[in-house]
């Protein structure tokens, strides 16, 4: 019996080019996996449906897009304050977009859950404006969080300090999610150069996402920065560092508040030692405050200890130094990581609600990012939800 001819599909070549550029994958890399890609783009050969489905998965693009007449305009669904040299960053990656969409779905579920419990709106959301005094606002945030500088100084590691900071925000009612990959796909690592975090403001279910691929000390600054956005009652996608400046008043205000939360200037000045070597001062003060040496550099500058020219030179050198010594940590316990990825407040709520029969297991699994009942049971055990 003769073999049935292979069915091929008509595809817009512009969409093929758009998909690989959107995914940030070079042509020669994709061509290694799809040897006929150049021919597809030149329309000398048409792909099979199976080949197109594989290409869509490889570029993280919906397969229906390949039949459009022109590429869609994709917008970040929250205010985008990311800049490079004060210029807006365009074309968000599929990794970033999928991360935001997933967080929005989790936030929507949690908002409905909180409403069902008839809980009151959180009073700190939108409680200040960008005209508010930076030191007073930072002091209020520390007070509400229970953020104690001396306590942090006693913690042994950056990881302990970050975990403590996240727990304080979690107890306050903030959904804090830390993840370095898209969902639970360890092959799709998030790029800190694209974004460090974002806040989605809501008076019942405020959410902060932190790019877990960033350093622990940088993650602490990101959390402080995004909390400042929540105090303003504003959602935002940012890539701000301690020394970053922006033409946006809100971003600059949030950066100053974040630095003051982590390193109050009045306490910092008391810790400065006259004539101390800069390298020694950076290491000592970073260990005491459990912040990045970049934040310490910024606070030395804020305290008048460095000229602007010397500060920026030292900042660039320190940034280069940190990039050289950064090492990737181990994956750690999967269930502990899962609780951090989706946020313990969210994980406990959806697990308990599912056990009560209010949420379908398939919906819980989708939002939590796994598909096995055994994984759910282990999560129940690790969260001590009974």
Question: What residues form DSSP beta bridges with 88?
Answer: 83
Burial class (CB in 10 A: 0-12, 13-18, 19+), 131: exposed
For the stretch 126-149, pLDDT in tens is 999 999 999 999 999 999 999 998
> Are residues 131 and 196 both part of a single domain?
yes
The domain in which residue 212 lies consists of: 93-262
pLDDT of residue 330: 47
The confidence band for 316, taking pLDDT boundaries of 50, 70 and 90, is: confident
Distances (CA, A) of 214 to 1, 164, 279, 324, 369: 59, 18, 22, 14, 21
Pair (111, 214) in one structural domain: yes
| Model pLDDT, residue 115 | 95
Residue at 136 is within a domain: yes
pLDDT tens-digit readout, 254-263: 999 999 999 9
Q: Which residue has the tokens 């969260």?
A: 383
Domain end: 227, 262, 297, which one? 262
Is 83 within a domain? Answer: no
Which residues have CB under 8 Å from 296's CB, separation 6+?
A: 263, 281, 282, 285, 286, 289
- Of 366, 87, 78, 112, which is closest to residue 208 (Cα–Cα)? 78
pLDDT > 70? residue 304: yes
Q: Does residue 238 sit in the same domain as residue 103?
A: yes
Sequence-distant (6+) residues with CB within 8 A of 252 are 245, 246
The whole-angstrom separation of Cα 334 and Cα 339 is: 9
Residue 193 has what pLDDT? 85
In degrees and rounded to multiples of 5, residue 299 shows phi and psi of -70, -30
For residue 131, give both structure tokens. Answer: 């005209």
Last residue within a domain, chosen from 262, 280, 303:
262
Provide the pLDDT for residue 246.
Answer: 65
Q: What's the mean per-residue pLDDT of the chain?
A: 88
My answer on whether 152 and 223 are in the same domain is: yes
CB 376 within 8 A of CB 364: yes
Return the pLDDT at 5.
60
> End of a domain among 244, 262, 280?
262
- Is a pLDDT exceeding 70 seen at residue 243? no
Residue 328: the pLDDT is 47
Residue 375, both tokens = 């994984």
Same domain, yes or no: 130 and 257: yes
Burial 148-164 (b: 16+ CB within 10 A, else e): ebeebeeeeebeebbeb
- Name the band, by pLDDT with cuts 50, 70 and 90, for residue 318: confident
Q: Could you tell me what percent of the chain has a pLDDT over 70?
A: 90
């Amino acid at each position: 019996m003769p073999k049935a001819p292979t069915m091929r599909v008509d595809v817009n070549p512009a969409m093929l080019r758009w998909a690989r550029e959107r995914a940030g994958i070079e042509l020669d890399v994709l061509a290694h996996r799809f040897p006929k890609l150049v021919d597809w783009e030149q329309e000398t050969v048409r792909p099979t449906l199976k080949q197109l489905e594989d290409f869509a998965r490889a570029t993280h693009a919906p397969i229906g897009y390949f039949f459009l007449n022109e590429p869609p305009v994709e917008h970040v669904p929250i205010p985008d304050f990311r800049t490079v040299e004060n210029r807006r960053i365009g074309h968000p990656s599929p990794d970033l977009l999928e991360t935001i969409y997933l967080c929005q779905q989790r936030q929507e579920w949690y908002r409905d859950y909180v409403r069902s419990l008839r809980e009151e709106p959180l009073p700190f959301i939108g409680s200040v404006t960008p005209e508010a005094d930076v030191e007073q606002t930072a002091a209020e945030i520390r007070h509400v969080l229970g953020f104690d500088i001396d306590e942090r100084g006693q913690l042994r590691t950056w990881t302990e300090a970050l975990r403590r900071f996240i727990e304080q925000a979690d107890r306050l009612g903030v959904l804090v999610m830390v993840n370095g990959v898209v969902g639970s796909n360890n092959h799709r690592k998030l790029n800190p150069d694209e974004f460090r975090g974002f806040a989605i403001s809501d008076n019942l279910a405020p959410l902060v996402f932190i790019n877990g691929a960033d350093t622990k000390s940088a993650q602490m600054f990101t959390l402080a920065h995004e909390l400042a956005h929540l105090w303003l009652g504003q959602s935002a996608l940012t890539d701000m560092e301690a020394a970053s400046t922006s033409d946006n008043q809100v971003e600059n205000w949030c950066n100053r508040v974040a630095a003051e939360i982590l390193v109050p200037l009045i306490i910092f000045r008391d810790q400065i030692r006259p004539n101390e070597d800069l390298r020694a001062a950076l290491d000592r003060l970073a260990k005491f405050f459990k912040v990045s040496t970049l934040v310490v550099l910024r606070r030395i500058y804020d305290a008048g200890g460095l000229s602007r020219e010397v500060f920026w030179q030292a900042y660039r050198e320190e940034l280069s130094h940190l990039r050289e010594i950064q090492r990737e940590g181990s994956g750690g316990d999967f269930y502990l990581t899962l609780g951090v990825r989706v946020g313990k407040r969210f994980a406990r709520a959806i697990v308990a609600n599912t056990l009560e029969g209010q949420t379908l297991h398939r919906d819980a699994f989708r939002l939590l990012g796994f598909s096995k009942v055994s994984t759910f049971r282990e999560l129940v055990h690790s969260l001590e939800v009974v």
